[in-house]
């Protein structure tokens, strides 16, 4: 009888609690938006939707690369067998995911610096507070995912033989990374599209 991995089940339960955390942030966003619609109209005018769209596509691409890493892990292929992406292993795909995720975080930092220079910060008003709280907590989650990628890559490099246990760790990290991606898509839609 095949039992589900304890790590996978634990991660799914933990992600369910994270859904509640982000649901609270969305509730705050909509509550404040309903209470001060003129503040939202003013605040959203400062957002660079084109830049945020490009940054979102970068994060989505990192999730695609992560999934290709999972496919490699399921084949028990930790490293590349050639230079073509079709021959990449878990390590190469997770390095690409890491690089794209780091680029996303750098994009967020750039966006924050731009907004602060234009006078919108976490202490400016309710809109600034919820914008920076929601996107900032998401950014912290992305940073946690980047650390997890490095741990999995390190484990893959140090393993003498890549096993199903290593593959399960990679799969569990992918659950988290895809969750972070889906949360960002929801945030992007609510903050940047639903003006």
The residues near 22 (Cβ < 8 Å, ≥ 6 apart) are 137, 138, 183, 186
Q: What is the pTM of this model?
A: 0.90
pLDDT at 165: 84
pLDDT at 62: 98
Q: What are 89-134's pLDDT values in tens digits? A: 899 999 999 999 999 999 999 999 999 999 999 999 999 999 999 9
Percentage, residues of the chain above pLDDT 90 = 65
Cα 92 from Cα 131, distance rounded (Å): 34
Cα 15 from Cα 146, distance rounded (Å): 16
Structure token digits, residue 169: 């760790």
Of the CATH numbers 1.10.3080.10, 1.20.120.80, 1.10.3720.10, 1.10.287.90, which one belongs to the domain with range 6-193?
Answer: 1.20.120.80
Cβ contact 184:138 at 8 Å: yes
């Amino acid at each position: 009888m095949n039992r589900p991995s304890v790590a996978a089940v634990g991660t799914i339960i933990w992600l369910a609690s994270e859904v509640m955390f982000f649901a609270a942030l969305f509730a705050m966003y909509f509550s404040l938006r309903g209470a001060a619609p003129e503040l939202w109209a003013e605040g959203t005018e400062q957002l660079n939707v084109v830049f945020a769209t490009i940054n979102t596509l970068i994060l989505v691409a990192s999730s695609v690369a992560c999934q290709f890493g999972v496919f490699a892990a399921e084949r028990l292929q930790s490293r590349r067998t050639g230079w073509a992406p079709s021959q990449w292993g878990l390590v190469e795909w997770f390095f690409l995911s890491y690089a794209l995720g780091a680029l996303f975080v750098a994009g967020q930092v750039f966006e924050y610096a731009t907004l602060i220079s234009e006078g919108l910060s976490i202490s400016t008003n309710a809109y600034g507070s919820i914008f920076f709280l929601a996107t900032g907590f998401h950014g912290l989650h992305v940073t946690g995912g980047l650390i997890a990628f490095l741990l999995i890559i390190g484990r893959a490099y140090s393993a003498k033989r890549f096993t199903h246990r290593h593959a399960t760790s990679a799969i569990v990290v992918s659950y988290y990374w895809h969750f972070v991606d889906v949360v960002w898509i929801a945030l992007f839609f609510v903050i940047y599209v639903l003006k």
